[in-house]
Structure 1
């Protein structure tokens, strides 16, 4: 009976550790104004916020190559001028909670289209 109880305890313990182990949930980005694209300096919508509402705009220097996350509530385009023009289209509903390792480390401007 002890062997049976030990086996049960091991299985139950394994299930508990697997189920209750450390969970890492993606944090939801904060809301962004209607018909705007919101850019945050840091991931998960933290840090300073820049709200773009249309037209071509060079980003403020503190955002140039330093966009950690974004949420798009309209279409637009992210532009990098480092070696010619590289452009990424953004559609309404697009977002990234950790954009700094991707195009967020290159973005120089935001515009209506590529």
Structure 2
């Protein structure tokens, strides 16, 4: 009797441990990096791995679009409350520009990233 109780407790504990190790989230991507960009500022993102990587950029704002500047100095729109999957060359920096009158939350997921991400908020420049 004592062995079956210990066995059932061990099995229940192992099952709880296995089930709690999975992360369930809404949507297609889990964003581990997010920043608040103040109004009329830009976010500069650098990656220590200087590779050409697929990234998912997500604008959480429900009112304003953000813009992002790629490695070829092309300005593209990041629509409000939407995500964009693109390829970014991290030899250069990635800039996320907030032209709105209020701060916005920005999230990024870099797929197959082996480097460390560094980000700083700067005043808008003439890039």
Q: Greater share of helix residues, 1 or 2?
A: 1
Which is higher, the Rg of structure 1 or of structure 2?
A: 1
Same fold (TM over 0.5): no
Q: TM-score under structure 1 normalisation?
A: 0.39
**RCO greater where, 1 or 2, for CA within 8 Å and sep 6 or more?**
2
Q: Greater share of strand residues, 1 or 2?
A: 2
